[in-house]
C-alpha cells in the first residue's frame, strides 16, 4: 500500500484543522478524481493519525535544534540597569553586539524606564545607539510607505511620527 501522507500534507491538514476522519474523505476523493485506485493507497484514520503525529514530532525536534537560548542569568535585583548589564553581557559573550538591529521591550517600566531602566545603560555604547531616537525621514520613507500596511497600523505610525516630532 502506498502512503499518501507526506510532511507537507500533514502540515496542511494541521493548518486547516482537518480531523483525521475528514482527511480520509478528502484524500480518498482527491485520489479517486486523479485516477488512482483508492484501495491501493494507505488512506485510513489510524494511519493518517500516526503519520501526523510522527511529522509533528519530527518538526518539533528540528525546531528545537534550530533555536538556541543565549543566556538565563541570575540577577542581583530586578532593575532595568541590571537587566541591561545581563543582556549586553550575553550579547558580548556570543559576539552579537554588532549584529543587533533593534531592541524590543515589553511595557514594564523596570525594563524601559529612563532612570533605572534599560535605557539608563549609557555605559553600553552600542546598545545606547539603538535606543537613540529614530531618524524621522527613515521612519516615514520605510514604514509609512509600506503598501501592505493596515490602516490602523498606518494611523498608529503617523501618530508616532507626530508625537516624536
Q: What is the pLDDT of residues 25-69, one digit of tens each?
A: 999 999 999 999 999 999 999 999 999 999 999 988 887 777 666
Instruction: Fill in the DSSP letter of residue 119.
Output: G
Residue 93: pLDDT over 70? yes
- Please list, in sequence order, all residues whose beta carbon lies within 8 angstroms of the beta carbon of residue 53, skipping any fewer than 6 positions away: none
pTM of the model: 0.45
Q: What is the pLDDT of residues 110-155, one digit of tens each?
A: 555 555 555 544 445 545 555 455 555 665 666 666 666 677 777 7
The domain ranges of the chain are 2-66, 80-131, 133-165
DSSP 107-129: S-HHHH-TTTSGGG-TT-HHHHH
The pLDDT value recorded for residue 91 is: 79
The alpha carbon of residue 39 and the mean position of all alpha carbons in its chain are separated, in whole angstroms, by: 42
Amino acid at each position: 500500500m502506498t502512503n499518501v501522507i507526506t510532511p507537507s500534507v500533514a502540515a496542511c491538514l494541521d493548518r486547516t484543522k482537518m480531523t483525521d476522519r475528514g482527511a480520509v474523505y478528502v484524500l480518498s476523493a482527491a485520489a479517486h478524481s486523479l485516477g488512482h485506485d483508492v484501495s491501493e493507497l494507505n488512506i485510513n484514520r489510524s494511519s493518517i493519525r500516526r503519520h501526523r503525529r510522527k511529522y509533528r514530532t519530527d518538526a518539533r525536534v528540528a525546531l528545537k535544534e534550530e533555536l538556541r537560548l543565549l543566556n538565563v542569568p541570575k540577577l542581583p535585583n530586578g532593575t532595568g540597569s541590571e537587566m541591561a548589564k545581563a543582556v549586553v553581557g550575553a550579547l558580548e559573550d556570543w559576539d552579537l553586539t554588532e549584529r543587533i538591529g533593534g531592541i524590543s521591550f515589553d511595557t514594564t517600566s523596570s525594563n524601559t524606564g529612563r532612570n533605572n531602566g534599560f535605557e539608563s545603560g549609557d555605559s553600553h555604547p552600542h546598545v545606547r545607539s539603538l535606543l537613540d531616537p529614530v531618524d524621522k525621514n527613515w521612519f516615514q520613507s520605510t514604514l509609512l510607505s509600506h503598501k501592505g500596511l493596515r490602516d490602523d497600523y498606518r494611523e498608529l505610525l503617523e501618530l508616532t511620527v507626530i508625537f516624536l516630532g
